[in-house]
A = this chain, B = another copy of it.
């Protein structure tokens, strides 16, 4: 790899002049500039980013950590992030938290990035203190409920979204509604599970043990939703609806129901949350909650830029609203068996 020095020698000028040509700063005679540009072309010279970043103490790159690359919910957020980052002259790279979490956090703290975005901070919090990270490097979080940390974040109220889902089902005549979610739902205030519990209680409905179906935290995949529902259906069919904490689990659940001989929605209604693309291109289409994913991505980047440019961490906390979308996977009064005493 050619260096600035090589270019300087070939063009018969000093390294400083090469820098001036590259960065278009200071005075350079037109004729000299041409000579330097030619030398750059001839040597195929590309400035070394490591060196530049070391000197400048900025690298114009963000990192984004996602819990799982296979959940399409994150994809659109990522596209929003990319969009705004590129517009502002930053690139960003994506880290999948699947396996070795610690490895990646190290990278971040080692100064490889100017800012850091976490989508869903729960897994992270178990490894490192988010507040600690955010004191060292501009940070922005997305989460599914308001958080109390002093870290800038964007959130949506998914407890509320879940309440709406449950209430809609209750209003449609459902009584025995299964909750399909992830284990950490139990530990969190303001979680989707809390919304479920409250709505059931408000309607005077009992939540039996079987009705809470939780899968391990990081495994919110299609397959896990499928397997959990399959085993549930093998044990009991005494339910008429499933509220899943996200669309992937819901999609898996629907397939499990079909294979178990239960029709959706005529036997069982199913709702998800996220409104990923597949939700309206599957059969049956999925009733779910729309989240403004692209806008969330845009906003997260703006939060980082704000911290970088203003040198202060405004403790910002921005809420986005959500909207329930009714589709084919839910239907009215499917709980006829109970009404007719069968």
* A contact set with B: CB distance below 8 Å: 1, 46-51, 53-54, 59, 61, 63, 69-70, 72, 75-76, 78-79, 82-83, 86, 91, 93-96, 98-100, 103-104, 106-107, 109-112, 136, 221-223, 226, 251-252, 254-255, 258, 277-278, 281-283, 285
How many copies, total?
A: 2
CB distance from A67 to the nearest CB of B (A): 13
The answer to whether A251 and B278 touch (CB under 8 A), given A48-B111, A82-B98, A94-B96, is yes
10 A-B residue pairs with CB within 8 Å: A51-B54, A54-B54, A70-B72, A79-B96, A86-B99, A91-B103, A91-B107, A221-B277, A226-B281, A251-B278
Among B1, B78, B112, B223, contact of A49 (Cβ-Cβ < 8 Å): B112
Among B48, B70, B285, contact of A277 (Cβ-Cβ < 8 Å): B70
CA–CA, A18 to B24, complex, Å? Answer: 39
Contact of B50 with A59 in the complex, beta carbons under 8 Å: yes
CB distance from A180 to the nearest CB of B (A): 14
Find the residue from A86, A93, A258 having the highest chain B CB count within 10 A: A93
Contact of A54 with B46 in the complex, beta carbons under 8 Å: no
Contact of A69 with B59 in the complex, beta carbons under 8 Å: no
Contact of A281 with B223 in the complex, beta carbons under 8 Å: yes
Among B48, B79, B282, contact of A282 (Cβ-Cβ < 8 Å): B282
